[in-house]
Each structure stands twice: as structure tokens, then as C-alpha cells.
Amino acid sequence: MRHCQQLSPTNPKNRKYRIFIWLYIAIFVSKLTSRKTSSMEYLFGKKIRALREAQGLLQRQVAYHLDIDSPMLSNIERGDRRAKREWIPKLAKLLQVNEEELLTYWLADRVFDVVDNEKVAKETIKTVAKSIGLKAV
């Protein structure tokens, strides 16, 4: 019985977990539909391109480092395709940038994909921010 109470949806400790699960489901569904929005340029791809160009690297050089082809990297930079989370440490090392900075851009794109075109997007983001302990959003 005690175990059932801990897993109860009314248990406040499970709130963060439930929000995470719903966001994960929304991300998964958005991946299945693979739609591209025009209301926001994808931040991660734009950042990768800027860092790559600032260092004078060609797409094929970065693509080789990630073990992908150049057209795929081009699609990532344009926002037509999503980068894998596992590439972030490799990119951070190659582009000589903080891994957390790249992760922030990568996650920002993921969150945007989930809440884009939702009427309650701002309130949803505020709710999530509050639930993870951020005071002012």
C-alpha cells in the first residue's frame, strides 16, 4: 500500500516526473510528424553554423567528426533535421565551446517543437519552470 501511495498522481513528488513524461511524449509525437515551423529559426543549427564558420571549418570536416554526411549536417544547420543528443560533446570539443551552451540551444529547439502553435505555450513554460525550481520567468 505504501508503494502505491508513492506512485499516486496526487503525490507532489511525482509532479516533476509527470510533467517530464508529458513533455517527452509531446516531443516523441512531434518527431513522428517531423514538421518544420516558420515562426522560429532553429537555434541549435544556427549556433552550430556560426561556430563552424567562425573557426573556418567546412561542413564536411564537422560531418566527418560526427560520422555523418555533409548533407545531413547542412539539414541540421538549416533546421530541417534534428541533431542527436550524443553529438553535443563531440561538437563542443571540436568547436571549442562549452557543452552546456550547446545543450541549452539543443533543448530550446526541442521545447519549442513541443509548444509551438499552442495557445497556452507561455503559461506551460512558466509552469514547467516553476516546477523545476525557477523563481522568475
**Residue 121 sits in a domain of what CATH number?**
1.10.260.40
Q: Is 116 inside a domain boundary?
A: yes
Q: Considering its fold, how many domains does the chain have in total? A: 1
Q: Is 115 inside a domain boundary?
A: yes
Q: Is 87 inside a domain boundary?
A: yes
Q: Is 86 inside a domain boundary?
A: yes
The three three-digit cell numbers of residue 7, written as one number: 506512485
pTM for the full predicted model: 0.64
What's the confidence (pLDDT) of residue 28? 59
Buried-state track 115-125, b at ≥16 Cβ within 10 A, e below 16: beeeeeeeebb
What's the confidence (pLDDT) of residue 66? 96
Task: Judge contact between 51 and 101, C-beta under 8 A.
Answer: no
* Domain housing 108: 36-131
Q: Is 15 inside a domain boundary?
A: no
Q: Is 110 inside a domain boundary?
A: yes
pLDDT, tens digit (0-9, with 9 covering 90-100), for 96-115? 999 999 998 998 888 888 88
Mean pLDDT of 56-63: 96
Q: Is 92 inside a domain boundary?
A: yes
